[in-house]
Amino acid sequence: MDNSMFDGLSIIAGLALDLAALLAAVRFLLQAAGVDGYNTVAQHVIKATDPVLAPLRIVLPSQGRIDLASIVGVWLLQTAKVALFHEPAIVVLLLGGLVQSLALFANLFFFALIAVVVLSFVAPVSSHPGAVILRQVTEPLLSPVRRIIQPVGGLDFSVLVVLFALMIVRGNLLPWLGALVGL
């Protein structure tokens, strides 16, 4: 097999690992936020992640709202992706998977907040299952900031503060951790 064929297959495998890790991360956030299991979007995420997470659930049961199998699943999938594209030592491989997992959660929260902001202008009182999930998942990040920064004239500046903090994490902290680990 020539090198370009291997590169194409590794890119496809990396995308599949990214998609599986994203779905596992979404499942963790859904359970942590207490999203209703009858929500159609949540049901699809649960069905899509069961093949990967069901074996982990046997060993790692949920602890209240914390879904350990999903967290470990995200970490294992991200570690597999690091192993696919790098040839590091085992410690670098495991820590690289952790850094990639943190980056995935930071990106997920960032884009969920952007979607909540857009939805607040387009359909502020939408009862669409996706909109409900986005509000429920982002609320744990926003509520502590809302206690400190009250809405002014109907404008909620807590979203800006959290987005700014996530941009710092995504732009400075995570690349620094990646370089520290050797990615």
- pLDDT tens profile 100-143: 889 999 999 999 999 988 988 887 777 788 888 888 889 888 88
Tokens representing 31 are 């359970």
Return d(Cα 129, Cα 158) in angstroms, integer.
Answer: 23
Residue 44 has pLDDT above 80, yes or no: yes
User: 64 by DSSP, 3-state: which?
Assistant: coil
| Phi (first) and psi of residue 102, to 5 degrees | -60, -40
Say if residues 147 and 46 touch (Cβ distance below 8 Å). no
Highest mean pLDDT (candidates 36-40, 82-86, 106-110): 106-110
Whether residue 5 is predicted with pLDDT greater than 80 in this model: the reply is no
Q: What is the pLDDT of residue 2?
A: 55
- Cα Rg, the chain, nearest whole Å: 18
Burial of 104 (0-12, 13-18, 19+ CB in 10 A): buried
List pLDDT tens digits, range 52-77: 888 888 888 888 888 888 889 998 89
- pTM as predicted: 0.84
Composition of the chain by helix, strand, coil, percent to 5: 80, 0, 20
pLDDT mean across residues, the chain: 85
* Structure tokens, 168: 């710092």
